[in-house]
DNA sequence: TCTCATACATGATAAATTTCATATTATTAC
DNA sequence: GTAATAATATGAAATTTATCATGTATGAGA
């Protein structure tokens, strides 16, 4: 799939939808609105690449992205997902480092680009914004620590159950208890940190145990408590 | 070992030694100096515990601490170490969450406690300090992402080699190429995310291959390039 | 609707790693 | 200094997980 994007001059992105921007003064909002650019991207588009310098961050207005690092033999390690009103890319902009991850859309998405100058301006001039952003990065750091411990100590089976729970909590279920985010087995493997075949086998196992029901990439949670138990006790 | 600490009224901790505080105005320095408390702690003392609320952060003036999470069956997962002029505990203070890790001294240490009120005051009133702290947490986030990918994708052997390199880079070598930080095999296992026996076996293997020399907990790096090769290619 | 590429599935190994058992050796506390 | 405790070491077996091989199903694009 080719990378594509096109400006959307009509529906302007509403910054106030992100809790991060709630403390801005009207003047600051005015300033940022002039500096930001909203664009839409087709599914499968790369927003930025690991190792590149990035010049701003993106506020997700619609769609879902995967944020991943490329490890051994090009194997992706998915670090997290971004969904509407999440902000991505700010880590590299603020630390002044090259992007440590790649961001790719999993669905058609609309992002609002905020140039680094605007971001630095707000950080320096609005203590509340700065604190909010600091809190965001601290929460992400806590999640990363949790992730490290899980990968290091839990079995693949436990981690897979945990990821299903995590996906439910972050993206929700439709009316029929089906996970609203749909990932390939390979992508699931790239979150869990295992081989694709292992995910396939374990999902079949969960299915045999009536914990989930599988229909292609649609995963229906039949027994949430059992899943929690698998994730925590085995 | 019992937890102990005692105030040190004489040698006042010099904040300017930490790059984090370099942007403070003389008035801010004056204010913080009145609010902070310096204490010394014996080796093996817990500074804060995972799950507790903490009321301030600590600037390490001397000594080394391990920062870890407690996972399955009480097995520790070491997330990182803190050495002089590192700041610890700020993540939980700023995010307003409970401590997500436990901090324990590995040597007799001196810490400078900075109450959360002082920290918040600086974040809100000094944009440069705030940016500096934001950059710190963003850098830590980048390191955490790296760690996640390594644990998920590399073998235990590769990760152990990598940790030895990491310890060399962070704590240095003495005149005889011996790592200046001395850890038990169990602690090494708790960084790598493996069983203690595996670390013992792999260290013996590195020794047989003349990559390191072992003398109790002293690890001498004989062939750094070989170590880098093991960490990256196997 | 056909076709090609990709994703999914499953069995059979192979490899890596853990666990358990048991000595031996250091450290620490008294 | 000595006893008690914790850490290190190593073998054998068990377990988990990855890899390889192969076949089927599915879906996107012509």
What are A70-110's pLDDT values in tens digits? Answer: 987 889 999 999 999 999 999 999 999 999 999 999 999 99
- The answer to whether strand D lies under 7 Å from the CB of residue B151 is no
Choose the final residue of a domain: B151, B185, B215: B151
A34 pLDDT above the threshold of 90? no
Q: Are residues A161 and A75 in the same domain?
A: no
Q: Are residues B144 and B163 in the same domain?
A: no
Has residue B46 been placed in a domain? Answer: yes
Which residues in chain B (119-158) have CB-CB distances under 8 A to chain A? Answer: 120, 123-125, 127-128, 130-131, 133-135, 137-142, 144-154
Residue A111 belongs to domain with CATH number: 2.60.120.10
The tally of domains found in chain A comes to 2
Q: What percent of chain A has pLDDT over 90?
A: 79
pLDDT for res B1: 34
User: Cβ of B123 and A100 within 8 Å?
Assistant: no
Has residue B224 been placed in a domain? Answer: yes
Choose the final residue of a domain: A103, A136, A151: A151
User: Cβ of A146 and B72 within 8 Å?
Assistant: no
Q: Are residues A22 and A83 in the same domain?
A: yes
Of the candidates B197, B20, B211, B50, the one whose C-alpha atom is nearest the C-alpha of residue B123 is B20
pLDDT for res A202: 97
d(CA B90, CA B148): 21
A138 contacts B133 by C-beta, under 8 angstroms? no
pLDDT for res A9: 42
d(CA A161, CA A22): 36
d(CA A205, CA A222): 13
Res. A2 pLDDT band, cuts 50 70 90: very low
A140 pLDDT above the threshold of 90? yes
Has residue B213 been placed in a domain? Answer: yes
Has residue B63 been placed in a domain? Answer: yes
Has residue A133 been placed in a domain? Answer: yes
Res. A68 pLDDT band, cuts 50 70 90: very high
User: Cβ of A144 and B146 within 8 Å?
Assistant: no
Has residue B7 been placed in a domain? Answer: no
pLDDT for res A13: 73
Choose the final residue of a domain: A151, A166, A197: A151
Helix (H, G, I), strand (E, B) or coil at A45: coil
Q: Cβ contacts of residue B177 below 8 Å, gap of 6+? A: B220, B221, B222
Through-space separation of residue B215 CA and nucleotide D1 C1' in angstroms: 25
Res. A23 pLDDT band, cuts 50 70 90: confident
A42 contacts A105 by C-beta, under 8 angstroms? yes
Q: Are residues A166 and A181 in the same domain?
A: yes
Query: With left for phi above 0 and alpha for psi between -120 and 50, is residue B89 left, alpha or beta?
Result: left
A234 pLDDT above the threshold of 70? no
Res. A8 pLDDT band, cuts 50 70 90: very low
Has residue A87 been placed in a domain? Answer: yes
Q: Are residues B198 and B128 in the same domain?
A: no
Q: Are residues A173 and A131 in the same domain?
A: no
d(CA A86, CA A66): 12
Has residue B226 been placed in a domain? Answer: yes
In the sheet with B102-105, reading across from the earlier edge strand, the strands are B46-48, B102-105, B65-70, B76-82
A97 contacts B142 by C-beta, under 8 angstroms? yes
Q: Are residues A139 and A196 in the same domain?
A: no
Overall pTM surpassing 0.95 (yes/no): no
- For A162-190, the pLDDT digits (tens) are 999 999 999 999 989 999 999 999 999 99
pLDDT in tens, chain B (234 residues): 333 444 444 456 788 888 889 889 999 988 888 888 999 999 999 999 999 999 999 999 999 999 999 987 889 999 999 999 999 999 999 999 999 999 999 999 999 999 999 999 999 889 899 999 999 999 999 999 999 999 999 999 999 999 999 999 999 999 899 999 999 999 999 999 999 999 999 999 999 999 999 999 999 999 999 999 999 976
Tell me phi and psi for residue B31, to 5 degrees.
-65, -50
Q: Are residues A133 and A34 in the same domain?
A: yes
Q: List, as own/partner pairs, every contact residues B68-72 make where C-beta atoms lie below 8 angstroms and the sequence separation is at least 24, other chains included.
A: B68/B101, B68/B102, B68/B104, B68/B190, B69/A145, B69/A146, B69/A148, B69/A149, B69/B100, B69/B101, B69/B102, B70/B102, B71/A149, B71/A150, B71/A152, B71/A153, B71/A154, B72/A153, B72/A154
Six token digits for residue B128: 């440069």
pLDDT for res B73: 82
Q: Are residues A168 and A137 in the same domain?
A: no
Residue B194 belongs to domain with CATH number: 1.10.10.10
Residue A208: which domain range? 155-231
Q: Are residues B65 and B131 in the same domain?
A: yes
* Residue in B139, B145, B154 closest to A79 by CB: B145
* Residue in B75, B77, B125 closest to A127 by CB: B125
How many CA atoms does the CB half-sphere of A68 hold within 13 Å? 23
* DSSP run (H or E) holding B114: strand B109-115
Q: Are residues B80 and B143 in the same domain?
A: yes
- For A42-64, the pLDDT digits (tens) are 999 999 999 999 999 999 999 99
pLDDT for res A18: 87
CA torsion through residues A156, A184, A212, A198, sign: negative
d(CA B55, CA B216): 39
User: Cβ of B154 and A72 within 8 Å?
Assistant: yes
Q: Are residues B128 and B184 in the same domain?
A: no
């Amino acid at each position: 799939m080719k990378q594509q994007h096109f400006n959307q001059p009509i529906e302007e992105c509403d910054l106030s939808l992100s809790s991060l921007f709630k403390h801005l003064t009207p003047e600051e909002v005015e300033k940022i609105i002039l500096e930001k650019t909203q664009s839409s991207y087709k599914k499968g588009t790369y927003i930025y690449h690991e190792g590149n310098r990035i010049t701003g961050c993106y506020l997700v207005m619609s769609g879902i992205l995967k944020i991943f690092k490329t490890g051994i033999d090009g194997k992706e390690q998915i670090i997290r997902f971004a969904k509407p009103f999440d902000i991505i890319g700010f880590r590299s902009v603020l630390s002044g480092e090259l992007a440590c991850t790649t961001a790719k859309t999993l669905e058609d998405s609309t992002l609002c680009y905020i140039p680094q100058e605007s971001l630095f301006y707000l950080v320096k001039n609005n203590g509340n914004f700065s604190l909010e952003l600091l809190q965001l990065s601290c929460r992400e750091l806590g999640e990363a620590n949790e992730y490290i411990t899980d990968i290091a100590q839990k079995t693949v089976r436990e981690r897979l159950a945990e990821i299903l729970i995590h996906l439910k909590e972050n993206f929700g279920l439709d009316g029929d208890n089906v996970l609203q985010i749909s990932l390939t087995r390979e992508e699931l493997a790239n979150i869990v940190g295992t081989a694709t075949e292992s995910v396939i086998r374990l999902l079949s196992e969960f299915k045999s145990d009536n914990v989930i029901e599988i229909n292609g990439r649609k995963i229906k949670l039949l027994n949430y408590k059992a899943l929690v138990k698998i994730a925590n006790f085995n």
